[in-house]
Structure 1
Amino acid sequence: MKILDWYILKRYLFTFLMMLLLFIPIGIMVDLAEKVGAIIENKAPFNETAIYYLNFTVYFANILFALFLFLSVIWFTSKLANNTEIVAFLSSGVSFSRFLRPYLIGATIVAGFSLFLGMYLAPLASQGFNEFKFTYLKKNKKIQKTIDVYRQINDNDYIYVSSFSPTQKFGRNFTYEHFEGNELKYKIFAGNIRFIEADSSYRLTGYVKRTFENGVETVETERRKQMDFPFELEDLSPVEYAAETKSYGELLDFIESEKRRGSSNIGMYEVVKLKKWSLPVSIYILTIIAVAVSSVKRRGGMGVNLAFGIIIAMIYVFFDKIFGVMARQANFSPEVAVWLPNVLFGILAVYLLQNAKR
């Protein structure tokens, strides 16, 4: 590598690291100021709180990785432009494409670390982060009910509940179906279902069992009946953040298992999987946009470049969040939801790069 490459690459990595070290403590202080009351009220141990903020650092650094990098590239490239260093580079016969090379090398290093972080470290951090949050920070808050849960428990059994409250361990309109091959053997209905912790069983109210044998249907009814079932309480209230807590290999197996069970959260899980790949790609795209925007010396100085960069970053986050929500809550393709912002901003990157070269 030449002196120019080392000079820009060191600035690229150093400024990005400084950006992380600057904003992460600010994020921790803001979060602590907001939640210190709940931490004290629920008597969260100091060591668990310290581990929570370590997980908090990894969790949010993973989410905001590309945006921190984007702003840091705009910052130091604008300083190069204002110091007329870029003009000197290009005047010495270096092409703009050659000038861009150390940025792409730096993006490769950061993207590689981002990929490793998203595949292995972030899932561990997410597990600890969410467990602490629901144990101490949301301990006294009402947890939202799960709606219309339909799941395949094993090769023969299916369950359905129209709504279930994890806090009360109570659900409505419960159905349990047992098949042998393609033949329905019996079906259990209940107006209400409640989990009994004392013996890990379920109490059914308005119990009706329809049994089918040799073309003959028999009906059994009881006002209240207590039963054991081959499923866990979590099957009635699947954890929405479950996919975030798994490494990539575990996530692939988990998604296949949830597809067989007929989970309604497949779109959400697919978004988590695809984001592990889309985030490293976005690092390249945002690096190119940042260089193209900030490599020109402007009358307003760095302030203009930073303002323009922040606007682009906000638009990127807006698109990312909107399409992510659509994939989670509607019949919208997770692939389109995750990759469309990168495609749109990739086109913008090519356009801005061509203008920068001219």
Structure 2
Amino acid sequence: MTILDRYILKRYLITFSVMLMLFIPIGIMIHLAEQIGKMQDNEAPLNEVLVYLGNFSITIGNVLLPIFLFLSVIFFTSKLAGNTEIVAMLSSGISYNRFLRPYLIGASIVAVFMFVMGMFIVPNASIGFNEFQYKYLKKGRQDRVTDNIFNQLNEKDFLYVSRFEPSRDIGYNFTMEHFNDDNILEYKLSAAHIRWIPADSLYRLTSYVKRTLKGETEIVETKKRLDTVFQFKINDLTPVSYIAETKNLFELNEFIDNQKRKGASNINSYVLVKYKRWALPITAFILTFIAVAVSSQKKRGGMGVNLAFGILVAFVYIFFDRVFGTLAEQSGFSPFLAVIFPNLLFGILGFFLIQKAKR
């Protein structure tokens, strides 16, 4: 690594780190100012608040990492251009591609950091972050899908609940169908209510009916109330809406496979989380090259023009990311395309801007 590489890479990493240390505490203070009233009203303990703020900084910081990186590259590259350092580098015979090499190294380091954060550190922080949100800041709101729940436990057992109340661990209009190896219905359970009794570690069914099919014979068993056990947990009926965010790389893959086998209706939202995690490190390269392309030339307006352009690009990127993410979650739009389209669009933009900067 040459002196030039070390010089630019040092500026790259230091500016990015300073940007994080400046803006994340500001974000914490703004968020705390907005939510302090709810925390006081719901009597959130101080120790839980402090842990929550730590989890908040990790969770939100991970989302904003590409934007911080983008603005920091624009900032220090504009300073290099303003001091005519880039002109001196290129005038000495260094090609523009060679000038980009330390930026590529820096983007690789940040991409690895983003990958480790997104796959392993953020999921653990997301557990406490979301639990605190629903316990103190969104008190009374549901964190689960609660209506018309279909679930496949395995290849033979299928569940249905018309409505589920997480606060009471009770489901209404419960149905369970069991099929044999020949995919023929063997028996069907139904109940007006299914309720988890934690003290006894069992389920209580009311207005219980079991229909067993043996050839052309149907055996009907009814009970006003039945206490029994099942192989599933009550939370398996409907996982929390943020469950995918709380799982690391390996747990998320296993969770998605299980949900696909069960026929989960909101599988797209889980797959979207997975693809976004993989795409996040790629954005480090795309935004780095766009930032270098727009800020490596000295402009009349100076750094202010470059930063204004950077903020505009950041908002457009977030807009596309949100729009296509919503389409994937609420319609049949492919989660893969929802993640790849914004990155592909900005990747093409970065390529053309780099070519223009070279000329």
TM-score of the superposition, structure 2-length normalised?
Answer: 0.92
The range that moved more, 57-66 or 200-209, is 200-209
SS, match of residue 186 in structure 1: strand
Q: Which residues of 2 match residues 70-81 of structure 1 at below 5 A?
A: 70-81=70-81
State the distance in 2 between where 1:260 and 1:140 align.
31
Shift of 1:257: 1.7
Given that 1:156 and 1:180 are in contact with CA atoms closer than 8 Å, whether structure 2 keeps it comes out as yes
Extract structure 1 runs of 4+ deviating beyond 6 A: none
SS, match of residue 240 in structure 2: coil
Give the aligned residue type for 2:90: L
Shift of 1:146: 2.3
Q: Which residue of 2 aligns with 1:233?
A: 234
Q: Which residues of 2 match residues 328-339 of structure 1 at below 5 A?
A: 328-339=329-340
Q: Which residues of 2 match residues 21-40 of structure 1 at below 5 A?
A: 21-40=21-40
State the distance in 2 between where 1:138 and 1:200 align.
29
Q: Which residue of 1 aligns with 2:328?
A: 327
Q: Which residue of 2 aligns with 1:178?
A: 178
Shift of 1:55: 1.4
Q: Which residue of 1 aligns with 2:301?
A: 300
SS, match of residue 231 in structure 1: coil
Shift of 1:351: 0.7
Give the aligned residue type for 1:27: G
Shift of 1:210: 2.6
TM-score of the superposition, structure 1-length normalised?
Answer: 0.92
Q: Which residues of 2 match residues 312-323 of structure 1 at below 5 A?
A: 312-323=313-324
Q: Which residue of 1 aligns with 2:258?
A: 257
SS, match of residue 240 in structure 1: coil
Given that 1:162 and 1:172 are in contact with CA atoms closer than 8 Å, whether structure 2 keeps it comes out as yes
State the distance in 1 between where 2:254 and 2:230 align.
24
State the distance in 2 between where 1:254 and 1:237 align.
13
Shift of 1:70: 0.4
Given that 1:165 and 1:237 are in contact with CA atoms closer than 8 Å, whether structure 2 keeps it comes out as no
Given that 2:260 and 2:267 are in contact with CA atoms closer than 8 Å, whether structure 1 keeps it comes out as yes
Q: Which residue of 2 aligns with 1:209?
A: 210
Given that 1:175 and 1:188 are in contact with CA atoms closer than 8 Å, whether structure 2 keeps it comes out as yes
State the distance in 2 between where 1:218 and 1:308 align.
73
Q: Which residue of 2 aligns with 1:42?
A: 42
Asked whether 1:150 is paired with 2:158, we answer no
State the distance in 2 between where 1:78 and 1:224 align.
74
Given that 1:173 and 1:192 are in contact with CA atoms closer than 8 Å, whether structure 2 keeps it comes out as yes
Deviations 1:104-140 (A, max 9, x none): 1100111111111112111111122122222333334
Given that 1:9 and 1:106 are in contact with CA atoms closer than 8 Å, whether structure 2 keeps it comes out as yes
State the distance in 2 between where 1:70 and 1:219 align.
67
Give the aligned residue type for 2:147: I
SS, match of residue 132 in structure 2: helix
State the distance in 1 between where 2:17 and 2:348 align.
28
Q: Which residues of 2 match residues 1-358 of structure 1 at below 5 A?
A: 1-141=1-141, 143=143, 145-181=145-181, 182-204=183-205, 207-220=208-221, 227-358=228-359
State the distance in 2 between where 1:278 and 1:294 align.
24
Shift of 1:11: 0.9
State the distance in 1 between where 2:173 and 2:23 align.
48
State the distance in 2 between where 1:92 and 1:240 align.
57
State the distance in 2 between where 1:87 and 1:205 align.
80
* Cα RMSD (Å): 2.1
State the distance in 2 between where 1:235 and 1:51 align.
28
SS, match of residue 122 in structure 1: helix
Gaps of 5+ in 1: none
Deviations 1:150-193 (A, max 9, x none): 11223432111233232243434322111222221111234544
Give the aligned residue type for 1:46: L
State the distance in 2 between where 1:251 and 1:145 align.
19
The range that moved more, 226-235 or 25-34, is 226-235
Given that 1:148 and 1:163 are in contact with CA atoms closer than 8 Å, whether structure 2 keeps it comes out as yes
Given that 1:145 and 1:166 are in contact with CA atoms closer than 8 Å, whether structure 2 keeps it comes out as no
Given that 1:144 and 1:165 are in contact with CA atoms closer than 8 Å, whether structure 2 keeps it comes out as no
State the distance in 2 between where 1:160 and 1:224 align.
19
Given that 2:259 and 2:267 are in contact with CA atoms closer than 8 Å, whether structure 1 keeps it comes out as yes
The range that moved more, 150-159 or 118-127, is 150-159
SS, match of residue 267 in structure 1: helix
State the distance in 2 between where 1:250 and 1:130 align.
18
Give the aligned residue type for 2:231: P
Deviations 1:234-279 (A, max 9, x none): 1222112112112211221221122222222321221122222211
The range that moved more, 252-261 or 348-357, is 252-261
> What percentage of residue pairs aligned between the two structures are identical?
58
State the distance in 1 between where 2:125 and 2:4 align.
37
